[in-house]
Amino acid sequence: MQSPIGEIILTEAEKLPEGALISAKKLLHLGSRGAIDQALSRLAKRKKLMRAGRGLYFKPIQTRFGIRAPAPEKVVSCLAETHAEIVARHGAAAANALGLTTQVPTKVIYYTSGRDRRFKLGEQTVELKNAPLWLLLPGKGEVGEAVRALNWLGHRQAGEALMKLKQRLPASTVSELIALRPALPDWLSKSISQTLVQHG
């Protein structure tokens, strides 16, 4: 039989958007930590919730094919919002999205302004790795993706990648990338100058 606390947690979980994390710490107004942990554990055993880590859960998504974990990007986005962090996808994923590599990342990794950590999403492990601000800003958009992709590719492949980006990205985005040079590492700033500025 489900406890009253479990029923309340489930009712609240149903109102949450995909990817929102349910934290035991946020539910302490409902009872003691022990009672909350017990209720969450029971809900997870009944597959009403999925466990991400110690004291962290999320609502599974019901589809016509069965239940699945929420999309990693939605969980990471909710996590960033909750902790006031900046997050961005890893350079390997950015390079793939921009067509700079056909290599599909086997791991789900995100850069964050917060601490390193990992959590489970069903069978998948999601990693968050602390990164310097220049690798996170601008967090969204093609300029940020280009910076992260170039950093992942490294200085040996940067020139060739920049030539491809020059052809594929809008002129305004290329101009933004050039303007970002002072915030970037010397090798990357130099590559951008040599490829996008000197060659016009």
> What tens digit of pLDDT does each residue of 1-13 get?
456 899 999 998 9
Q: Domains in the chain: how many in total?
A: 3
Residue 199 is predicted with a pLDDT of 62
Share of the chain above pLDDT 90, in %: 66
Q: Is the pLDDT of residue 57 over 50?
A: yes
| Domain coverage including residue 98 | 72-134
Residue 140 is predicted with a pLDDT of 63
Joined together, the tokens standing for residue 25 give 């710490």
Domain edge (last residue) among 134, 160, 187: 134
Domain edge (last residue) among 134, 157, 184: 134
Both 99 and 113 in a single domain?
Answer: yes
- We report the CATH number of the domain holding residue 52 as 1.10.10.10
Residues in Cβ contact with 16 at an 8 Å cutoff, skipping those fewer than 6 apart? 22, 59
Both 63 and 76 in a single domain?
Answer: no
Residue 1 is predicted with a pLDDT of 46
Both 193 and 142 in a single domain?
Answer: yes
Domain edge (last residue) among 92, 118, 134: 134
Helices 4-15, 33-45: inter-axial angle, 10-degree rounding: 70
Both 31 and 62 in a single domain?
Answer: yes
What average pLDDT does the structure give for the chain? Answer: 90
Residue 96 is predicted with a pLDDT of 94
79-83, 99-103, 179-183: segment of lowest average pLDDT:
79-83
Mark out the alpha helices in 67-116 (DSSP H runs).
72-83, 91-97
Both 34 and 55 in a single domain?
Answer: yes
Summarize the confidence of residues 11-32 as an average pLDDT. 89
Summarize the confidence of residues 67-94 as an average pLDDT. 90
Exposed e or buried b for every residue in 66-89, given b needs 16+ CB within 10 A? eeebbebebbbbbbbeeeebbbbb
Question: How do residues 103-155 score in pLDDT, each as one tens digit?
Answer: 888 889 999 999 999 988 888 899 999 999 999 976 668 999 999 999 999 99
Residue 154 is predicted with a pLDDT of 96
